[in-house]
């Protein structure tokens, strides 16, 4: 079988197995994957609003509200008024998030090292560079809507596939 024909399956399966190993570690600490993703994205995007965070972690905004309620109660997240929109809230890491975030990074490092066992440092760097390039290629086919949601767009340029429509016979007028 042609290895390139199964690359999509392989990428998806590796992601699934990687996620499973990470979730196993997170569960041992009383965390779930969505909480880890929310804290991870928030650490790199402090001050974003709830809708943008929901888009980043691919969660419905109403589901995120319940998650943020729990995380705020635990002291991991702070909601502050948005100075540009009095109806919205901006999100920041709370005082108690740092030790949790440290544990998340440790779990991520352990999972990554486990997954990349047997690869040299050079192979790891090459692999990461290739994944970044593939990601960049795929992001090039998305546009962002006014709410910040990604939407696929049709390929363009000289390399884009051209769709040829079959000719249809004209019906004779009766």
Distance CA 107, CA 18 (A): 11
Distance CA 41, CA 45 (A): 6
4 vs 168, higher pLDDT: 4
Distance CA 46, CA 147 (A): 18
83-116 pLDDT per residue, tens: 888 888 899 999 999 899 899 999 999 999 999 9
Query: 0.75 exceeded by the pTM?
Result: no
78: left (phi over 0), alpha (psi -120 to 50) or beta: beta
Give the fold, CATH level 3, of 32-101.
Arc Repressor Mutant, subunit A (1.10.10)
């Amino acid at each position: 079988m042609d290895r390139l024909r199964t690359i999509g399956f392989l990428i998806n399966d590796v992601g699934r197995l990687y996620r499973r190993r990470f979730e196993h570690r997170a569960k041992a600490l009383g965390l779930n994957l969505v909480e880890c993703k929310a804290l991870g994205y928030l650490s790199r995007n402090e001050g974003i609003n709830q809708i943008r965070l929901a888009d980043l972690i691919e969660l419905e905004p109403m589901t995120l509200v319940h998650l943020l309620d729990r995380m705020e109660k635990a002291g991991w997240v702070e909601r502050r008024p948005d100075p540009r929109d009095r109806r919205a809230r901006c999100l920041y890491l709370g005082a108690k998030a740092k030790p949790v975030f440290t544990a998340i990074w440790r779990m991520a490092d352990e999972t990554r090292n486990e997954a990349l066992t047997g690869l040299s440092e050079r192979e790891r760097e090459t692999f990461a560079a290739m994944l970044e390039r593939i990601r960049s290629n795929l992001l090039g086919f998305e546009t962002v809507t006014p709410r910040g949601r990604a939407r696929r767009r049709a390929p363009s340029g000289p390399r884009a596939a051209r769709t040829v429509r079959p000719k249809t016979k004209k019906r004779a007028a009766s």
